[in-house]
Amino acid sequence: MPHKHPGDVAQALVDWFSAHGRDYPWRRTVDPWAILVSEIMLQQTTIPTVLGRYEVWLAQFPTPKHLAAATEQEALRSWEGLGYYRRVRALKAAAQVITEQFGGIFPEKEADIRALPGIGDYTVGAVLSFAYNRPAPLVDANVSRVFARLFNDRTPIDSPTGRKLHWKWAAEMVHPTNPRSYNSALMELGQTICTGSAPKCLTCPIRQWCRADKPEELPVKLPKKEITATEHRDILCIRENCILLEKQSAGNRHEGMFRLPKRSKAETDTLPLLATQKYSITRYKVTRRLYQAGGNTRPKENEQWIPLAELPNIPLASPDRKILVKQGF
Ligand code: SF4
């Protein structure tokens, strides 16, 4: 046990949260579907972006049955701008299982929740504690940072040993009767007080139990993977009010979505350059150049002519949507 009195730490967090916890729409509900949606959205998207999309998305798909009945295209389109589309694909697959195997009622058993597509340890902990108020452990980057400092532990938090240790602590520390507030409190402490570069220890509700002597040096992480610069060239090709787009094939990160067609340097060297776009995705720094191609361009495999009038409704990868909007589409 990391502390002689883990209950005191847990209770202090719950008390602090009842006075200082932030009000988010997903904290006003105990509907497991709404909780699952918020957790999946928040996995790789910032809170301000999710706040702008969450309620609108849930109004479109208020129950698993609604998402199960949607086409893949509708589901992908609804996720545009949130990125990491495999999340909405997994959510749709989970909605289908809930609809087909549980009659549309969200399961309550841990094993059934864990078996849903795209659900990992964190999401299981979130649904069990936030929806059902069950004492389930939960570890995310914020929780890990708090634990590393609270226990003054230098095990890299992204190593297998570090992960195992933090999940063990999370299970030992969880508040037995108010896990809903406790898990929210732990994450919020990491977001607002025990922050990455400048922890506000003087206002920390668990300061008296904290063992960190140099909190700003914690948590320790494994060495970072190098950033790789990558470049690609795409074409903008319009013919008879249609645009040439490539449908992304199975196994692709953007499977089922459309992207502007790619072309080689030799194929684009003599074409007029329309725009240059730079963005980062995971460990890649992407530079993309968009060239104007003639209407007689031959479609390659998976490329098709899409009427311009359909452009607002089809699922397009976000960088493609952005560059097309800038081009006036
Ligand atoms: S006392 Fe400081 S380092 Fe320790 S948990 Fe609180 S904010 Fe983090």
Output the domain CATH number for residue 245: 3.90.79.10
Q: State which of 217, 241, 274 marks the end of a domain.
A: 217
Atom 2, ligand 1: which residue's CA is nearest?
A: 201
Residues 194 and 134 both lie in one domain? yes
Q: State which of 217, 244, 265 marks the end of a domain.
A: 217
- Residue 90 CB–ligand 1 contact under 6 Å: no
Residues 83 and 189 both lie in one domain? yes
Looking from the CA of residue 211, the nearest atom of ligand 1 is 4
Residues 251 and 172 both lie in one domain? no
- Flag whether 1 is in a domain: no
Residues 322 and 285 both lie in one domain? yes
Reported as type and span, the H/E element at residue 241 is none
- Flag whether 262 is in a domain: yes
C-alpha span between 204 and 145 (Å, rounded): 14
Q: Strand locations in 172-283, DSSP E?
A: 228-236, 238-239, 242-247, 258-259, 262-263, 273-281
- Flag whether 191 is in a domain: yes
Residues 233 and 211 both lie in one domain? no
Residues 248 and 193 both lie in one domain? no
What per-residue confidence (pLDDT) applies to 244?
Answer: 96
Distance 308 CA to ligand 1 centre (A): 54
- Residue 215 CB–ligand 1 contact under 6 Å: yes
Residues 285 and 201 both lie in one domain? no
Residues 272 and 164 both lie in one domain? no
What per-residue confidence (pLDDT) applies to 283?
Answer: 85
- Residue 146 CB–ligand 1 contact under 6 Å: yes
Atom 4, ligand 1: which residue's CA is nearest?
A: 210
Q: How many domains does the chain have?
A: 2
Q: Global pTM?
A: 0.79
What per-residue confidence (pLDDT) applies to 1?
Answer: 44
Distance 149 CA to ligand 1 centre (A): 6
Residues 37 and 182 both lie in one domain? yes
Residues 128 and 35 both lie in one domain? yes
Atom 8, ligand 1: which residue's CA is nearest?
A: 194
Q: Catalytic pick from 39, 80, 188, 246?
A: 39
Q: State which of 217, 242, 263 marks the end of a domain.
A: 217
Whether residue 299 is preceded by a cis peptide bond, meaning omega within 30 degrees of 0, is no
Distance 201 CA to ligand 1 centre (A): 5
Distance 174 CA to ligand 1 centre (A): 18
- Residue 150 CB–ligand 1 contact under 6 Å: yes
Residues 263 and 236 both lie in one domain? yes
What per-residue confidence (pLDDT) applies to 232?
Answer: 94
- Flag whether 223 is in a domain: no
Looking from the CA of residue 149, the nearest atom of ligand 1 is 3
- Flag whether 164 is in a domain: yes
| 130: exposed, middle or buried (Cβ count in 10 Å: 0-12, 13-18, 19+) | buried
The tens-digit pLDDT sequence of the chain (329 residues) is 455 566 899 999 999 999 999 999 999 999 999 999 999 999 989 999 999 999 999 999 999 999 999 999 999 999 998 988 989 999 999 999 999 999 999 999 999 999 999 999 999 999 999 999 999 999 999 999 999 999 999 999 999 999 999 999 999 999 999 999 999 999 999 999 999 989 999 999 999 999 999 999 999 999 988 889 999 999 999 999 999 999 999 888 888 899 999 999 999 999 999 999 998 888 899 999 999 999 899 999 999 999 999 999 999 998 999 999 989 89
Instruction: State which of 173, 210, 217, 220 you would mutate to test the pocket of ligand 1, scoring each by most atoms of that ligand within 8 A of its C-beta.
Output: 210
What per-residue confidence (pLDDT) applies to 174?
Answer: 95
- Residue 199 CB–ligand 1 contact under 6 Å: yes
- Residue 193 CB–ligand 1 contact under 6 Å: yes
Is residue 39 part of the annotated active site? The answer reads: yes
- Residue 194 CB–ligand 1 contact under 6 Å: yes
Instruction: Look up the CATH number of the domain holding residue 14.
Output: 1.10.340.30
Distance 148 CA to ligand 1 centre (A): 10
Looking from the CA of residue 206, the nearest atom of ligand 1 is 6
Distance 147 CA to ligand 1 centre (A): 9
- Flag whether 178 is in a domain: yes
- Flag whether 222 is in a domain: no
Distance 190 CA to ligand 1 centre (A): 9
Looking from the CA of residue 218, the nearest atom of ligand 1 is 3
Residues 21 and 160 both lie in one domain? yes
The residue segments making up the domain with residue 306 are: 228-326
Question: Under a CB-based contact definition with an 8 Å cutoff, are residues 136 and 35 in contact?
Answer: no
**Helical ranges in the chain per DSSP H:** 6-20, 32-44, 47-60, 64-69, 72-78, 86-102, 110-114, 121-126, 141-150, 160-173, 179-192, 265-268, 318-326
